[in-house]
Amino acid sequence: MQIQDFSTHAAVAKLTSLARRPHELAAPGGLTAQRVGEYVAESGGFALLYAAQRVTPEVLTALQELADEAGLVDAFLAMKAGATLNRIEGYASENRQVLHTACRDVFGEAARAPEATAKARQELAKLRSFLADLDSDVIVNAHGQSFTTMVQVGIGGSDLGPRALCLALQSYALPGRSARFIANVDPDDAAEVLRGLDLSRTLFNIVSKSGTTLETLTNEQLVRSALRKAGLEPSRHLMAVTGKGSPMDDSAKYLASFYMEDYIGGRYSATSMVGLATLGFVLGIDAVMEILAGAHAIDLAAEQREIRANIPLLMALLGIWNHNFLGCATVAVLPYSQALSRFPAHLQQCDMESNGKSVTRQGNPTRWQTGPVVWGEPGTNGQHAFYQLLHQGAEIVPVEFIGFRRNQYGVDIEVEGSSSQQKLVANMLAQSLALALGKEDANPARRFAGNRPSLILMAERLTPRAMGELLAIYEHRIAFQGFCWNINSFDQEGVQLGKVLATRLLRLLVGGEQGAAAEKDSGQESLEKSLLRQAGML
Ligand code: G6Q
């Protein structure tokens, strides 16, 4: 696979020139019924409506050329087949394969990465039998009662994706089953979750790939101590998901243990046991298989080379058009679905930890923009909050709307001739139109310039399968963008420095004035102490 820097592609020069006069959505004829009908792509159960992007057929052709020149689909196929993509050439790096797709490649056809899929199948079989034991009261508490709550203890990738999915699919929970999450080392996080829980009927799922994460290990101790105080034996209430050989890989300490492999990155691990154990407890194994089937369908759809037939690829390129060529610094993901309330938080990690990089895969500085700032909240709530800036602010924010034709619970009310679901979707579509078309007004404060790009991801209903599809659409959008920018989307060196300094500060804090590491220069140490004193901690 030929790797080329972003700026050297012929299509980049073409797009730079096209970006001087981007499509005018707000001009007469800029957004027509015909355009809305034509600018639609489909993958799995999702349709992508992208008429409100500032693109023309020429721009789309140049974006296709960029995808081809940068070998985006080839890189994706190599990723799925187990290429060692998590590396920086010539420098120390994680040096790993990137095989989260193997967790979903379990539906019979010839697997793209057979060894990884075989391991995923093994873990799934273990999960299936564990869940069956819980269902049939083979695994029970000391009083012979079944477990009703699972508390997942983990942080970052071991929290955000699984939590977003659990929340999204709560309406499908098995009767009497629920999940909670503890992530923060802030003791109030655990206190709030534990308050009011019947510990005797709770299973704590300690999730840490490395088995060394400060927050998770601390919260594990907190949970163990809470169980002991309640007169319960921790090993009957704790299970673990971790990497083989990690400090947490100790079956004596846990009721059950599941594994994740080092080729599954934390932020891409929701469809490994990191997410599936808790999802399985709450939703059951059939829903777990539906989530995997949805993700797998998109894993296949993302192999299409034609950008208009491949939603993740098209979204990646439209994002690049807005970010690198039209200069938009952020992107807002606005689901019109309360169930997706934590999905933007998951994407914030998945996208920004993946693509917030400024060295190439060869270790050189990038001379082009890489990952944008990603943020978002569910609509319609956001409309009453930050949409002012979206419509009239000085910053242009491309928007990705996510909507569903039907709601999850099937419970609705008709008020003034329309259902709440109709109001919800009408609002989402109206926002997209308003952003694109704008509005003239003699009063400048009431003028809307328009020309603000958005796209709409639309599906029938947020089912487990649709959730799997949506998750994979974004995972691959992010990976395609990383390939295009020639960065390593799969490491996270940028989180290390803060962790190291926190350990130093903590040592100073607990050791008082004498606690500093002797080897560190005194200027740094006095700076650290001064900061602690000013914060009132020393
Ligand atoms: C994700 C990151 C990071 C990681 C957490 C938790 O891609 O690597 O968010 O998931 O730091 O790590 P552990 O699972 O090892 O505890």
- Give me the residue spans of the domains in the chain: 6-95+305-491, 104-292, 495-534
In CATH, the architecture of 6-95+305-491 is 3-Layer(aba) Sandwich (3.40)
Q: Once rounded to an integer, what is the mean pLDDT over residues 430-446?
A: 98
User: Which of these, 461, 326, 353, 333, lies nearest to 402 by C-alpha position?
Assistant: 333
Tokens of 483: 């390939």
Nearest-angstrom CA–CA distance, 239 and 148: 15
pLDDT tens profile 222-273? 999 999 999 999 999 999 999 999 999 999 999 999 999 999 999 999 999 9
Residue 176 pLDDT > 80: yes
Choice from 96, 100, 155, 163 to test ligand 1 binding pocket (greatest atom count within 8 A of CB): 155
Nearest-angstrom CA–CA distance, 210 and 154: 11
Nearest-angstrom CA–CA distance, 57 and 473: 23
Residue 179 pLDDT > 70: yes
Distance in Å, CA 458 to ligand 1 centroid: 31
Residue of the CA atom closest to atom 16 of ligand 1: 208
Distance in Å, CA 155 to ligand 1 centroid: 7
Distance in Å, CA 519 to ligand 1 centroid: 29
- Which pLDDT value is given to residue 520? 55
Residue 531 pLDDT > 60: yes
Tokens of 354: 């993946």
Residue of the CA atom closest to atom 5 of ligand 1: 156
Nearest-angstrom CA–CA distance, 222 and 347: 29
Check residues 142 and 521 and name the one with the higher pLDDT.
Answer: 142
Examine domains 6-95+305-491 and 104-292 and report if their fold is the same: yes
User: What value does the CA radius of gyration of the chain take, rounded to a whole number of Å?
Assistant: 25
Query: What does DSSP say about strands 46-49 and 454-459: parallel, antiparallel, or unpaired?
Result: antiparallel
Distance in Å, CA 283 to ligand 1 centroid: 24
Active site residues: 353, 384, 499
Split at pLDDT 50, 70, 90, the class of 512 is low
> Which atom of ligand 1 is the closest one to the Cα of 267?
7
Split at pLDDT 50, 70, 90, the class of 184 is very high
- Which pLDDT value is given to residue 522? 80
Distance in Å, CA 529 to ligand 1 centroid: 29
**Cβ < 6 Å from ligand 1: which residues?**
155-158, 208-210, 213, 216, 265-267, 353, 492
- Which pLDDT value is given to residue 140? 97
In CATH, the architecture of 104-292 is 3-Layer(aba) Sandwich (3.40)
- Which pLDDT value is given to residue 196? 87
- Which pLDDT value is given to residue 2? 61
Residue 1 pLDDT > 70: no
- The three-state secondary structure class of 401 is strand
Q: What percent of the chain has pLDDT over 90?
A: 96
Split at pLDDT 50, 70, 90, the class of 366 is very high
Cα angle 99, 102, 212 (rounded to 5 degrees) comes to 50
Choice from 185, 213, 273 to test ligand 1 binding pocket (greatest atom count within 8 A of CB): 213
